[in-house]
Structure 1
């Protein structure tokens, strides 16, 4: 494998993966296919995250093949991609072509995608093992079957096919879980853009606006600052809609007195931000709204205190849940006659009436990023310890629907507060600090 391009994070990741593979083994990783939307129109193309992680290459119809070093033979990084085609480029835009991609992205060799089948029969010949996304794609599984059949047809010449298959994605999941300096910088920028967009939506909000008008403020700020897309369909949920966790219709008209819950983040250079803020559309929290808001904020602060190296991932959720359960008792959402303590309520899962989701997830190239939440190599598979370089969200919430015994003043209030967080050597850094969060700060920002 070329040594000069290893100064790029993509080449360095390819080298790390090759070093972890069985000597002489072959890894195959295609990018995502284009998907038809209707008639002759495709959905906006987005490359595969695993493929991008190792290549930085964003064109469709591309496959990465890695061959691990074996003896005196160095490792190889090979790209298969679309050929240059000036006529198609007039209609669809620039293509690197194999030679251009090889030079620009530091591959050892590059071929036209049409040569994939013939070259794979050669590359897999006498390889001891193959690494690919086992069972992830029926199309890839069929391709692998055909390539292996082509190799086995050479058996009379003494050629052997790989005897072992390994799940490539499991290896990449562990690599992707730890963000390098380049990734951290991109994620900070994505979170900063997204936080400013949330502030813009707060400042624009007025009773009577439609949810989609606030969504437009977000999207404007994303694009104005260079983000390519929203990282996911934004949630802009006013009033009772905020009690629907994955609400994304974004068509209702806000009313004076509503809270608005916005869960939105941009995608910048393939990395996602994921931020939630909740604010009063008229700029002033009512007393019941503020009481619940301060409870969720206290739960988030407790959860954030658990984000540091050596603490278990599950400690984050446990810390938030204890604060929320106690607050539910204090505010009368849960009955003290029935539950003597927060621990009793949690043991009976009573808190899940108002808080039914986890307190976060990994974040990176995907909004819900790759990586296991448990230490799969330890006995009993306990929650894995946090380590520097991990990036995650911390997002407690509370959602109060009308029900018998629930004080009416809290009905239809949904609140979530979500930040993007990087685990550091001595604790954590909040990447999304640009989004206002304190109730007083929100009211000050929204003041006419």
Structure 2
């Protein structure tokens, strides 16, 4: 991988916290993601299973993690299975992890080749009662492809039908919601790389540039700073394209007088940044653009102040909606009659602000965890209000990444320019 090796103590502590929450005489099994095919003999770039990375730090295919904290033989309480390499694999695919490297990365002392997995599993399960298995339980997931963990669930239940089965997701998701100091350091570094990309784009953006050229500027800056690239498919949306919430074409030319909305973030060591900025293509906001921009920024400022321990995301979204409502009235987009006649299911502000304000952020961009769990110290969330006026071709969203602290919050993107005057100054220096 491109990133500097992460301290193995992060993964040692993650496993320790997980094992403390398991039932007695339990086993945890997590498989790596598959390398997915495209067409012919092509494949997509490998992306590790988030839970496996969180618990081991291993970023390689065909990896299996087995945890059995109560097993009588201490050596078998943590076992990592790696793909055994050979000369042919080395020639065609390159280096694969050695057992020594697996230990250095994960902190797991018992490393075996993955062909030993079934034999070891049988020995461990003979002394166990509960099996925790990994499923993708993200509330926004659409599982259309059967992965290694899905296949193993079916196999395991067929071969060991009398054990008790438990879901790993609720346990590990609850842990992943709270970030350690090392995780926060990695996320701040991803934000720093994102800042470098944004500052580069401020210098490169001018009328006539194409959206994909802006995308390329980010890609260059991310890669030269040891990022694997974009944390998610980038949105580079000029003019009315910014009113398409998940615009991904990035193939239009930027025009004088238009705005450019950019929802991008760098990945670093599998941890993610998620930034949105909106800038004037010609370096100067028009009067109307500035009115809307300042309204979004005010909502973002108030919304950020609301992010404190104790509030739930549904409560928070409702409160932010009320703030946005007032800004839209001032902009002349809705009026008091619209508000009076609105329903709880379809508030008036939703015509111009259709999405939520925040989501958890971490190893996944839309990170896991219950939205009904009150915010706690150590959680990291986005704050991303927006106003989209299709009839005027104006779409503005502003987004930072916020760490919940004992005293309120810390902005991990505090050094990325966001105020209109600073953006104009940087674009015209």
What TM-score do the two structures reach when normalised by structure 2? Answer: 0.91
Query: d(CA) in 1 for partners of 2:208 and 2:171?
Result: 50
State the 1:53 CA deviation: 0.3
Q: Which residue in the other structure is 2:140 paired with?
A: none
The residue matched to 1:20 in structure 2 has which SS?
A: coil
Matches within 5 A, 1:5-404: 8-69=9-70, 76-98=77-99, 100-102=101-103, 104-134=105-135, 137=146, 139-151=148-160, 161-162=162-163, 164-339=164-339, 349-374=347-372, 384-402=373-391
Higher mean alpha-carbon deviation, 139-148 vs 120-129, is at 139-148
1:425 aligns with 2:406: yes
**Is residue 339–residue 347 contact of structure 2 (8 Å, CA) maintained in 1?**
no
State the 1:132 CA deviation: 0.5
Query: d(CA) in 2 for partners of 1:117 and 1:421?
Result: 43
State the 1:72 CA deviation: 8.3
CA change 1:354–1:241 in 2 (3 A) is: same
The residue matched to 2:236 in structure 1 has which SS?
A: strand
**Is residue 237–residue 262 contact of structure 1 (8 Å, CA) maintained in 2?**
yes
**Is residue 242–residue 399 contact of structure 1 (8 Å, CA) maintained in 2?**
yes
State the 1:119 CA deviation: 2.5
CA change 1:72–1:55 in 2 (3 A) is: closer
**Is residue 303–residue 315 contact of structure 1 (8 Å, CA) maintained in 2?**
no
For 1:38-95, what per-residue CA distance to the aligned partner results, in whole angstroms no more than 9, with x for missing partners?
2222111111111000000111001101002257868711111111313311221211
Query: d(CA) in 2 for partners of 1:115 and 1:72?
Result: 17
State the 1:351 CA deviation: 1.0
Rg comparison, structure with higher value: 1
Identify which of 416, 422, 425 aligns with 1:435. 416
Cα RMSD, aligned residues only: 2.3
Identify which of 371, 374, 394 aligns with 1:413. 394
Paired residues, number: 415
Unaligned runs of 5+ in 2: 1-6, 138-145
Q: Which residue in the other structure is 1:380 paired with?
A: none
For 1:116-144, what per-residue CA distance to the aligned partner results, in whole angstroms no more than 9, with x for missing partners?
22332222224111000258756545434
State the 1:337 CA deviation: 4.5
State the 1:310 CA deviation: 2.4
Query: d(CA) in 2 for partners of 1:68 and 1:260?
Result: 52
Query: d(CA) in 1 for partners of 2:281 and 2:344?
Result: 33
Higher mean alpha-carbon deviation, 318-327 vs 52-61, is at 318-327
What TM-score do the two structures reach when normalised by structure 1? Answer: 0.87
The residue matched to 1:38 in structure 2 has which SS?
A: coil
The residue matched to 1:352 in structure 2 has which SS?
A: helix
